[in-house]
Each structure stands twice: as structure tokens, then as C-alpha cells.
Structure 1
Amino acid sequence: MLTALAAVSILGAAGCAGAEAGTPAGAAADAPATTGPEETAATGPAETGAAAGEQAYRDGTYTSTGSYQSPAGPEEVGVTLTLEADVVTAVEVEPKPDNPTTREYQGRFAGGISDAIVGKKLDELSVDKVAGSSLTSGGFNDATGKIKSEARL
């Protein structure tokens, strides 16, 4: 079905090529594919309440502890984030395990989180699973939410 839609788009673009001088025949076929992401990118800052170019968080280093539920019971993880112009420039996760299995997973998470978030805007962080650890992300996200509240301008 996608092939048929692509063929129709190309044929439609070829039929309209004479109407607009200088417009490549493939331009019309590309337009719908790029409209969605451009609209999303353009509306992103408005959704966060910050105008383009405005900083939403104070620069600095922030530390918090997040909680989450593991099969063995409640667990916590320490999180330290360094922010510059709303971008995470450094992260440190302090494992605080109550059992050996949690120790293993929090250690994996701590070892892989930097690659997943450094260089991203704080409001764009959405950590789900890092280095095979999916539950620790709940504690990380909890701590990050507290850090957002503390750092907000």
C-alpha cells in the first residue's frame, strides 16, 4: 500500500512540475513526510512555556534521590545533573541498592546513563531502559523531576 501511495505522490508531483518553475519533481512527494516533524519541533518550546532562546532552568549542579519499586521492594537511586543553558552537560548516578540484584542493575544503569542523556535538553529527557536496566529508570525519572522543580527559573 505504501508503494502505491508513493507512486501516486510521484505521479502527482510529475504532473504538477510544469506549474511551478524551479521546483524539483520530488519536492511535492517529500513535503508531507517533513511537515509533521517540523510542526512538532516548532511547537516544542511553546509547550514547555519557554519562548525560543529563553532558558527555563538555572545553570548549576543539582542532586536528588529518586524512588522506585523493584520486585524485592522499594529502592532508591541518587542522581546528580549538571545543567548549562537547559542542556545536561554531566550526570552521575549513585547506586543505593538494598539487595544484590538491585546492585547489579543500578550499576549497569550508572555506567550507561551518560551516553543516553548528556547533550540533551532537560525537558527532552525520557529515560526508559539503560544498559539492560529498566526499573532504575523510574528512580532516575523521579529524581530528575525533583531536580527540574529545584532548577526552574
Structure 2
Amino acid sequence: MPRRTARTALYAATAASTALLAAACGPQTEQVESAPSSPSGSAESDSASEAPASFTAGEYEATGSYQTPGGTQSVDVEVTLEADGTITDVEVDGNAEGGNSEQFQKKFESGIDAQVEGRKITELSIDKVSGSSLTSGGFNDAIAQIIDDAQA
């Protein structure tokens, strides 16, 4: 009987340790996946794409922010738009200075072009790029600001 109690306690302690480890590491680790080569990627249509929009063609930039387990982070986004809202060029520069955020921002920067260039800005809702899912929140925030600035 004491052996059974000790084994049960050991199993409970192992399960608790595993749960704590998973909770501590979960939000900071992201599964790595390569960016899709097609523009559809993980961009999804959103309700803003229902009505055609008219834009003033040109270059626009905005800074979007997002929350991480390490605090608030931000990315600078610059896009070149045509009058119909098509993105012809995009550049993303992360502002993180080290740690996981910098690593994930660099992954995001390396894969975002393939997911947005040639697409309408009002059809974007990026959720993950090259394994980076949190950075997309800052990117989407910046895109929303650019849409407001660029609408004719």
C-alpha cells in the first residue's frame, strides 16, 4: 500500500511539473513553419473587403504595436499602394532589441512579402508568417492605420 501511494504521488508531481513547464514555455515558443509561396498563405479575407475601396496611390508607413509575454513590442510597416488598394511593395522593420521578440520579428520580416504583395490591402488579415504569430498583431495594427490614411 505505501508503494502505491508513493507511485501515485510521483505521477501527480510529474504531471504538475509538466503542466507548469508547458505553461511557462507555451506563449514564448512558436512552432516554426515556412512561409507559403502563394499569396493566399495564411492571409484571410476580412469583412472590410466586402465594399470596394478607393485609395490615394503612394507610399504609406505606420507603426503597429502588439503584446508579448515580455511586454509591448512594435513593428514599422511601409507599403506602396495602387489606387485600387493593391500592395506593390512592403517593408517591415521590427523594433525589438533581443530575445524571442527579435527572433520572431526577423522571421516575420523574411516571409511577409510573399503573403501580401499583389493583394488588396483591405483583404489582409495576417495570422502567422514563418512561424511568427504575435508579430502579425503589430503588422495588422499598422495596416489598419495605413488603410485609414490612404483612403481617398
Which residue pairs with 2:89 in the alignment?
A: 90
* Percent of aligned positions that are identical: 43
What is the alpha-carbon distance in structure 1 between the residues aligned to residue 67 and residue 91 of structure 2? 21
Match of residue 66, structure 1, among 37, 45, 64: 64
SS in 2 for 1:78: strand
| 1:151 Cα deviation after fit | 0.2
Number of aligned residue pairs: give it: 104
| 1:102 Cα deviation after fit | 0.6
| 1:144 Cα deviation after fit | 0.3
TM-score by length of 1: 0.65
Structure 1 residue ranges without an equivalent (≥5): 1-43
| 1:56 Cα deviation after fit | 1.3
Amino acid at match of 2:105: Q
Stretches of 4+ aligned residues off by more than 3 angstroms:
none
Which residue pairs with 2:29 in the alignment?
A: none
TM-score by length of 2: 0.65
Amino acid at match of 1:102: S
RMSD, matched Cα: 1.4
Which residue pairs with 1:124 in the alignment?
A: 123
Amino acid at match of 1:134: S
Q: Residues 75 and 98 of structure 1 are in contact (CA less than 8 Å); yes or no, is this contact kept in structure 2? A: no
Instruction: Describe how 1:133-152 pairs up with structure 2 within 5 A.
Output: 133-152=132-151
Which residue pairs with 1:106 in the alignment?
A: 105
Structure with higher RCO (Cα < 8 A, 6+ apart):
2
What is the alpha-carbon distance in structure 1 between the residues aligned to residue 108 and residue 77 of structure 2? 11
Amino acid at match of 1:118: E
SS in 1 for 2:147: helix
Which residue pairs with 1:77 in the alignment?
A: 75
Residue deviations 1:19-56, cap 9 Å, x none? xxxxxxxxxxxxxxxxxxxxxxxxx96x32x3xxxx51
| 1:86 Cα deviation after fit | 1.1
What is the alpha-carbon distance in structure 2 between the residues aligned to residue 127 and residue 57 of structure 1? 21
